[in-house]
A and B are shown apart, each in its own frame.
Chain A
Amino acid sequence: MTNAALHVARTGLDAQNSRMQVIANNLANVNTTGFKRDRANFESLDYQQITAPGAPSSDANKYATGLNLGTGVKIMATSRIDTQGSLQTTDRSLDLAISGQGFFQVTKPDGTAAYTRDGSFSTNADGTVVTSDGLPLQPQIQIPANATNVTIATDGTVSAALQGQSNTTTLGKIQTVRFQNASGLQAESGDLLIETAASGAPQVGDAGTDGRGTITQGSLEASNVDITQELVDMIETQRAYEVNSKVIKGTDEMLQTANQQL
């Protein structure tokens, strides 16, 4: 009881520290293709009831109000803010951006699926379309070595002109995936997101259908981190950290006075 204030202020320092980490990660990813900023959500911890309202204060009287002491704060969750990042034209034929909701589906080395908005694709030695980390796009698209002028339509249809042939050939279709609760996806390294119980099952389909966004060829989606917003959040976090450390100092001084003078 005597040092409750110290512990409460410590929860404040911890929470602000975690928020700073979220902000630092957002700022670190300001140039990461397809990155979505996170926001830290605070939640106050449960209250401790010292005196219940209505409890007897004497034989005849009752406390009109209770004494409920709060026990601090914690970071409950981070929410990914899924607003669209701006599209930047690159003129590379395998740079793809999704306008609207949805993700590209890729296969990880262990065979499981992962999802990403980072559309900087390339081809590997056998012509398979892969991410910059070498993960193949799902369903797989093969681009033959003699293909020229690869075009990708807004619905994901990949076509190319093959040398020696007069007509363009369709090579496959890139499908996109959406989720009931995309903010429930778990972030992994390499700009990948994976399905969780909170995100719901992936709904695979053609780009531009059922609310899936359309594909823009020759563009990349920039990170949606807004530096000004992050800097303002950072100052707010710093100030909150400062006041919580002042509480610790203040409470310590109270205890110090008691220890020295009594």
Chain B
Amino acid sequence: MDRLIYSSLAAMRGAMGRQATIANNLANVNTSGFRGEIANAQSLWIRGQELNGRATVSDEVKGADMSKGTAAQTGRDLDVSLNGDAMLTVQAADGSEAYTRRGDLQQTNSGLLTTGDGSIVMGENGPITLPAADTVSITADGTIYIVPQGGDPQAPQQVDKLKLVSPGGSTIAKGLDGLFRNTAGGTLPSDPDARVSSRSLEGSNVSASSALVDMIDTSRAWDSQIKMLTTAQELDKSSADLMQLPQ
């Protein structure tokens, strides 16, 4: 008996996974620096004894959409948006070095600089701690200047420089914590040409309209698989009818 329904089942599972991916992209439509995921389906041939008779579908999240989100001015001194494909270097919760486009920097009570989701921001010399300061400013190349408490506003002092990287030829992929890492292992070197814009923040790159179109597409794919299942059901029924002995 033909295993049509199993192929359909795999396709439906895939469609639901894709729907979950779209839902996650849309849920993060306002998350600063978020990179949407691209769902991808590929056929997986099941090797029969004689011929490749059946393909099923293996659904996977192929990777993140790395296009840019829109940056908006915020006026907050510690907000940075990254130009080009530059990324900020952060220390993930597991201690490894990871990369992010999220630039809403915060200070802890000890002055340690973190991103809005609590990852420690790395400078050229490791984690950055800002001393008590009257003003903080970040220049285009990521250098952080402060005017220390009671200091001369005309003579800002350099504290550290954000470690800015560009993936360049390296492949980076999003981990389970939403941060990017070098898939080949190891860390990326800092890029002296990377630039940031301070007092502005990049939004999510999820396009609500194209995600909605993808969603319609997914639900139609789901519907056609249901159609396949009902057709299989009818075929099954008619063959069972044929087999029935006349009364």
Tell me which of A106-114, A124-132, A157-165, A192-200 binds B. A192-200
With the chains together, A11 CA to B26 CA distance in Å? 10
Residues of B within 8 A of A19 (CB): 30
- The stretch from B81-89, B106-114, B156-164, B188-196 touching chain A is B106-114
User: What residues on B are CB-neighbors of A48 within 8 Å?
Assistant: 176
Q: Which of A69-77, A138-146, A168-176 has 4 or more CB atoms under 8 Å from chain B?
A: A69-77
Neighbouring B residues of A210 by C-beta, 8 Å: 149-150
The A-contacting residues of B in range 179-206, CB under 8 angstroms, are 183
Q: Is the CB of B108 within 8 A of A198?
A: yes
Asked if A219 is an interface residue, CB under 8 A from chain B, the answer is no
**Nearest opposing residue in chain B for A248, CB measure:** B23
**By the criterion CB–CB under 8 Å, are A42 and B28 in contact?**
yes
Interchain nearest-CB distance for A155 vs B (Å): 14
Most buried by A among B16, B25, B28, B183: B28
Q: Decide yes or no whether A90 CB sits under 8 A from chain B.
A: no
**Which chain A residues lie closer than 8 Å to B173 at the CB level?**
53, 65
Contacts of A239 in B (CB 8 A): 208
Chain B residues numbered 199-245 whose CB sits less than 8 Å from any CB in chain A: 208, 211-212, 215-216, 218-219, 222-223, 226-227, 229-230, 233
* B27, A181: Cβ atoms closer than 8 Å: no
Contact B16 A4 (CB under 8 A): yes
A14 to B133, CA, bound (A): 37
B19 and A200 within 8 A (CB): no
Q: Which of B56-64, B120-128, B137-145 participates in binding chain A?
A: B56-64
CB distance from A172 to the nearest CB of B (A): 23
Would you call B26 and A70 a contact (CB within 8 A)?
no
Count of chain A to chain B residue pairs whose CB atoms are closer than 8 Å in the complex: 208
Q: Is the CB of B24 within 8 A of A71?
A: yes
Distance (Å) between the CB of A152 and the closest chain B CB? 22
Contact of B63 among A65, A184, A197, A251 (CB under 8 A): A65
The residue in chain B whose Cβ has the minimal distance to the Cβ of A80 is B76
Interface string of B54-98 (1 = CB under 8 A from A): 000011111100000000001110000000000000000000000
CA gap between A41 and B31 in the complex, in Å? 7
Are the CB atoms of A41 and B104 closer together than 8 Å?
yes
From the candidates A2, A9, A180, A209, name the one contacting B26 in the complex (CB within 8 A). A9
Instruction: Determine if B34 is an interface residue (Cβ-Cβ < 8 Å).
Output: yes
Q: How big is chain B's contact interface, by range?
A: 35 or more
Band of interface residues on A:
35 or more
> How far, in Å, is B75 (CB) from chain A's closest CB?
6
Q: Which residue of chain A lies nearest to B176 when distances are taken between CB atoms in the complex?
A: A47
Can you list, as one digit per residue, whether each of B11-45 has a CB less than 8 Å from chain A (1) or not (0)? 01101110111111111111110100100100010
Bound-complex Cα distance A240 to B209 (A): 11
A86 within 8 A of B: no
Instruction: Determine if B28 and A5 form an interchain contact, defined as CB atoms under 8 angstroms apart.
Output: no
Partner of B76, one of A81, A101, A200, A209: A81
For A32-68 the 0/1 string (1 means CB < 8 A from B) is 0000000101111011111101000100000101111
- Residues A257 and B226 in contact, CB atoms below 8 Å apart: yes
A→B interface (CB under 8 Å): 1-2, 4-6, 8-9, 11-12, 15-16, 19, 39, 41-44, 46-51, 53, 57, 63, 65-73, 76-77, 79, 81, 83, 101, 180-181, 183-184, 196-200, 203, 209-211, 236-237, 239-240, 243-244, 246-247, 250-251, 253-254, 257-258, 261-262
Instruction: Return 24 A-B CB contacts under 8 Å, by A number.
Output: A1-B13, A2-B16, A4-B20, A11-B27, A16-B30, A42-B32, A43-B116, A44-B24, A44-B27, A44-B31, A47-B174, A65-B173, A67-B60, A70-B24, A73-B30, A81-B74, A81-B76, A183-B106, A183-B107, A198-B109, A210-B149, A211-B132, A243-B211, A261-B227
Q: Besides A4-B23, A243-B211, A254-B222, 7 other CB < 8 A contacts?
A: A53-B183, A66-B61, A72-B28, A76-B116, A211-B133, A211-B134, A237-B30
